[in-house]
């Protein structure tokens, strides 16, 4: 009877380690960032209508413009994220800028100021998303992309749930403006978490795309 043990060992799928410090760092950053920007998002209608006396249409206009800019910024962020060195700076800068601009809404005294800060914050948020996704792809192998990205999405959704709940409790305790201002704390911690993840990510090389382009040009010349 032939020995099938070696075949069994070869057929057994190799276990990939996916919940690395880098993946945990990115997941934590997504959770904290969502907590940070969901707080002012939940309180924005009250800020505009009750505090600043703006009509409900102002909220729709601000949110529509901000979402449009965030979508356009993702395209530009994707271009920046293709550069391995630049994607790290864009990720950290995007998280930090979103934190500062979102919390600065607490100091706004006019509707146009809220709109400008909101649009700028959402633009920075859109820029950072492709860089974060590219960093996650740098950390784990393609075999475990599903688990790694699923973990990041789970943490993001948990932050979207916890943020408004935290805002509800803080408003009752501290008031509207203080709650919006304090949203900078989880947002800054998100920037710290993404920096931690970057420190646990090996620096990828950008030479491979250049070789691919050279190969294509060489084939065309034949």
User: Taking the model in full, what pTM does it have?
Assistant: 0.81
Residue 144 backbone phi and psi in degrees, to 5: -120, 25
Looking up tokens 């633009």, which residue turns up?
A: 123
Question: Shortest CA distance to 29 belongs to which of 155, 150, 133, 131?
Answer: 155
Helical H runs in 105-144?
Answer: 111-139
Q: Give the C-alpha separation, 169 to 54, whole Å.
A: 25
Q: What angle, 0 to 180 degrees and rounded to 10, lies between the N-to-C axes of helices 21-46 and 184-199?
A: 160
pLDDT for position 203: 66
Taking only the tens place, the pLDDT of each residue in 53-90 is 999 899 999 999 999 999 999 999 999 999 888 899 99
Question: Shortest CA distance to 27 belongs to which of 125, 157, 131?
Answer: 157
Looking up tokens 């703006």, which residue turns up?
A: 54
Answer yes or no: is pLDDT of 14 > 70: no
Answer yes or no: is pLDDT of 15 > 50: yes
Q: Give the C-alpha separation, 67 to 60, whole Å.
A: 10
CA 69, 120, 155, 13 torsion-angle sign: positive
Query: Quick one: average pLDDT of 159-184?
Result: 94
């Amino acid at each position: 009877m032939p020995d099938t043990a070696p075949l069994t060992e070869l057929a057994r799928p190799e276990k990939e380690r996916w919940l690395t410090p880098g993946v945990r760092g990115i997941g934590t950053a997504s959770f904290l960032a969502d907590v940070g920007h969901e707080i002012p998002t939940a309180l924005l209608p009250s800020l505009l209508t009750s505090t600043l006396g703006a009509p409900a249409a102002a909220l729709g206009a601000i949110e529509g413009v901000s979402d449009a800019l965030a979508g356009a910024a993702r395209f530009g962020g994707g271009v920046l994220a293709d550069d391995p060195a630049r994607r790290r700076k864009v990720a950290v800068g995007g998280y930090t800028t979103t934190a500062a601009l979102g919390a600065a809404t607490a100091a706004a005294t006019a509707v146009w100021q809220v709109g400008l800060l909101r649009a700028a914050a959402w633009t920075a948020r859109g820029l950072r998303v492709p860089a974060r996704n590219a960093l996650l792809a740098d950390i784990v192998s393609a075999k475990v992309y599903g688990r790694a990205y699923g973990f990041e999405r789970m943490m993001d959704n948990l932050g979207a749930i916890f943020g408004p709940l935290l805002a509800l409790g803080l408003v009752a305790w501290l008031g509207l403006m203080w709650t919006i201002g304090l949203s900078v704390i989880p947002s800054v911690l998100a920037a710290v978490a993404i920096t931690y993840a970057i420190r646990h990510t090996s620096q990828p090389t950008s030479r491979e795309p250049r070789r691919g382009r050279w190969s294509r040009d060489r084939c065309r010349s034949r």
